[in-house]
Chain A
């Protein structure tokens, strides 16, 4: 397994820029997830690493070797596509054996490698079938089997679970994580689903509009999002955001056109009158005690907990509670926004520490 080093990589399609100066160092054996909305450039970055597109600037190294000029076949990486890209005219066994046949491996080597991968993924009964006779989950496993067989320097995953239904997705997520632990494989995984990112990643690379927004462990991104984008993207339900101004006493923030005042627990060094954005996650909103009053608009029970939509001084607020609160529409309830749980972002969207 090898480390992957991405330095100053930019990509343009014609005159349209898609990636700007991406820097990322992936350690050997690490599982890195590229996450972001559609069009953020994560798939493009993956394809650049794979060699399916050419970089416009910057360099990519795999295992210490610069690979910018190398075609995919020389980079020794394996890729699992969103659509699996299984060869329809070949059986499962042949699909997995194809890369080894290209390397002119002996029949015994091929049989051993395919057998080992097949056993690990539970494909033994399916080896002679053609892809069209397989279910979605089975095809996904064949795609992974095809990747494992090669013992490559790194694995690349391009939204492999997007085409599966919810239950199967949960199951395959666990499978992928287990596999990673067993193989210790350097993996780069692209997804738009932040839950997949949180559960699978050693480190997450949050991307938006072709730029890296934050790199860090899942909990780092959750606890200390570097900007508004990461704050709003990670965590579900999404973080509540309010425009605010710093008030005279420097430890107070005025939200919602000044109607709401929130006390900060320590001095954040703000200048009076600065405009900023305040965020608080729904799960950190305290209900039932507190200086503020909210009116219940909507109650969404999810079994695990309850999402409560409130109106607070005319602004919409979402709260998430693990308790079963018996609330009805129009009820009034006490609300507290604890200072320790507040995230502050400056007028450019960057985190204020």
Chain B
């Protein structure tokens, strides 16, 4: 459709503002992280330091526990993503392909868990996991995160499975496959992008979870990134350069993942029918 020049001008202007607003905080993070300590206070407000230095990154990577925190977060997030993909895939499959008694109850239950404040589980969770030895443990975190992410992942998986016509599995079953065989040979290959997107989503969610990690983990050995960063911040509350460098490092995996899967998110939400 034809639009006036004024329309396009304001269109681009607004978009530019949005992009600026979105990127500026991240830019600033990088900027301070690259500013050497002696220039930090004198040039604090400049948009770009007169000299950049990698000293903060070097410090964070070599002299702090960050590699450890990074590794812990990686383990917890990956394990959560994989387990959630499995259990939510199964549940989503059940919801998509079957009609059974109690189905609406299950769906209602899944919805309710999305609604109530998880914060209130912090206290009982600690007291319940402590005697089981699951506090200060990555396993404990994985269990908790898996449960928290499973409902939403189930809905995502269900919508992906709903997008594949049932007839493909029926044709496979007539061709001689069991229901599970049809799932494996037909449904799985076709929904792989969706499963990957869900996995990426869960990974990002587990990666950034703060409150439960804070409550359940107190030792540096088992700290995930958020906990580690926060303790780092409280320890080095004057050394902004190092804190920001640590922040940039915390940023990288999540942003990379996101740039990768964001295309699928919009497509997935559009294709999977917007149910008003």
Write the nearest CB–CB distance from A33 to chain B, whole angstroms: 20
CB 8 Å contact bits of B83-105 with A (1 = contact, 0 = none): 00000000000000000000000
8 Å CB contact of A83 from B165, B181, B186: B165
8 Å CB contact of B167 from A77, A85, A150: A85
Distance, CA A211 to CA B175, complexed state (A): 30
8 Å CB contact of B175 from A83, A88, A89, A150: A150
A65 within 8 A of B: no
The answer to whether A88 and B190 touch across the interface, beta carbons within 8 angstroms, is yes
B276 within 8 A of A: no
Write the nearest CB–CB distance from A162 to chain B, whole angstroms: 14
CB 8 Å contact bits of B155-170 with A (1 = contact, 0 = none): 0000000000101101
CB 8 Å contact bits of A67-95 with B (1 = contact, 0 = none): 00001110001110101011111000000
CB 8 Å contact bits of B62-96 with A (1 = contact, 0 = none): 00000000000000000000000000000000000
The answer to whether A73 and B171 touch across the interface, beta carbons within 8 angstroms, is no
Hey, which chain A residues are within 8 Å of B176, CB to CB?
Answer: 73, 99, 102-103, 150
The answer to whether B174 and A73 touch across the interface, beta carbons within 8 angstroms, is yes
Q: Which of A51, A72, A77, A78 has the most CB of B within 10 A?
A: A72
B189 within 8 A of A: yes
Distance, CA A86 to CA B189, complexed state (A): 14
A242 within 8 A of B: no
8 Å CB contact of B174 from A50, A83, A86, A87: A50
- From known contacts A98-B175, A99-B175, A103-B176, infer whether A89 and B170 are also in contact, taking CB-CB under 8 Å: no
The answer to whether A72 and B173 touch across the interface, beta carbons within 8 angstroms, is yes
Hey, which chain B residues are within 8 Å of A176, CB to CB?
Answer: none
Number of interface residues of A (CB under 8 A): 22
Hey, which chain B residues are within 8 Å of A89, CB to CB?
Answer: 189-190
Distance, CA A146 to CA B185, complexed state (A): 16
The answer to whether A85 and B178 touch across the interface, beta carbons within 8 angstroms, is no
The answer to whether A72 and B170 touch across the interface, beta carbons within 8 angstroms, is yes
A52 within 8 A of B: yes
- Which residues of A (215-243) have their CB < 8 Å from a CB of B? none
Distance, CA A85 to CA B185, complexed state (A): 14
Distance, CA A84 to CA B168, complexed state (A): 9
- Which residues of B (128-180) have their CB < 8 Å from a CB of A? 165, 167-168, 170-178
Distance, CA A79 to CA B173, complexed state (A): 10
Write the nearest CB–CB distance from A317 to chain B, whole angstroms: 44
The answer to whether B178 and A73 touch across the interface, beta carbons within 8 angstroms, is yes
- From known contacts A81-B167, A83-B167, A87-B168, infer whether A102 and B189 are also in contact, taking CB-CB under 8 Å: no
Number of interface residues of B (CB under 8 A): 17
Distance, CA A337 to CA B158, complexed state (A): 62
The answer to whether B172 and A98 touch across the interface, beta carbons within 8 angstroms, is yes
Write the nearest CB–CB distance from B245 to chain A, whole angstroms: 45
Q: Which of B167, B186, B189 has the most CB of A within 10 A?
A: B167
Distance, CA A217 to CA B50, complexed state (A): 94
CB 8 Å contact bits of A100-131 with B (1 = contact, 0 = none): 00110000000000000000000000000000
8 Å CB contact of A102 from B165, B175, B190: B175
CB 8 Å contact bits of A137-150 with B (1 = contact, 0 = none): 00000000010001
Hey, which chain B residues are within 8 Å of A102, CB to CB?
Answer: 175-177, 181
Q: Which of B172, B176, B185 has the most CB of A within 10 A?
A: B176
Write the nearest CB–CB distance from B171 to chain A, whole angstroms: 4
Write the nearest CB–CB distance from B230 to chain A, whole angstroms: 46
Q: Which of B174, B178, B186 has the most CB of A within 10 A?
A: B174
Distance, CA A52 to CA B185, complexed state (A): 19
Distance, CA A72 to CA B168, complexed state (A): 14
The answer to whether A87 and B173 touch across the interface, beta carbons within 8 angstroms, is no
Distance, CA A213 to CA B94, complexed state (A): 39
Write the nearest CB–CB distance from B205 to chain A, whole angstroms: 29
The answer to whether B190 and A79 touch across the interface, beta carbons within 8 angstroms, is no
Q: Which of B165, B171, B181 has the most CB of A within 10 A?
A: B171
The answer to whether B170 and A71 touch across the interface, beta carbons within 8 angstroms, is no
Write the nearest CB–CB distance from B91 to chain A, whole angstroms: 23
Hey, which chain A residues are within 8 Å of B189, CB to CB?
Answer: 89
Hey, which chain A residues are within 8 Å of B178, CB to CB?
Answer: 71, 73
Hey, which chain B residues are within 8 Å of A85, CB to CB?
Answer: 165, 167-168, 170-171
Hey, which chain A residues are within 8 Å of B185, CB to CB?
Answer: 98
Hey, which chain A residues are within 8 Å of B171, CB to CB?
Answer: 79, 81, 85-87, 146
Hey, which chain A residues are within 8 Å of B190, CB to CB?
Answer: 88-89
Name A76's closest neighbour in chain B (CB-CB).
Answer: B176
Name B164's closest neighbour in chain A (CB-CB).
Answer: A88
Distance, CA A132 to CA B185, complexed state (A): 18
Distance, CA A172 to CA B169, complexed state (A): 25
Question: Which 7 residue pairs of A and B lie closest in terms of their CB atoms, listed nearest first?
Answer: A99-B175, A85-B171, A85-B167, A102-B176, A73-B176, A72-B173, A72-B174
Further contacts, 18 of them, CB under 8 A, given A79-B170, A86-B171, A102-B176:
A52-B173, A77-B174, A79-B171, A79-B174, A81-B170, A83-B167, A85-B165, A85-B168, A87-B168, A87-B186, A88-B190, A89-B189, A98-B172, A99-B175, A102-B177, A102-B181, A103-B176, A146-B175
- Chain A residues with CB under 8 Å of chain B are 50-52, 71-73, 77-79, 81, 83, 85-89, 98-99, 102-103, 146, 150
Q: What are 20 A-B contacts with C-beta separation under 8 Å? A: A50-B170, A51-B174, A52-B170, A52-B174, A71-B173, A71-B178, A73-B173, A73-B174, A73-B176, A79-B170, A83-B167, A85-B171, A87-B172, A89-B190, A98-B172, A98-B185, A99-B175, A102-B177, A102-B181, A146-B175
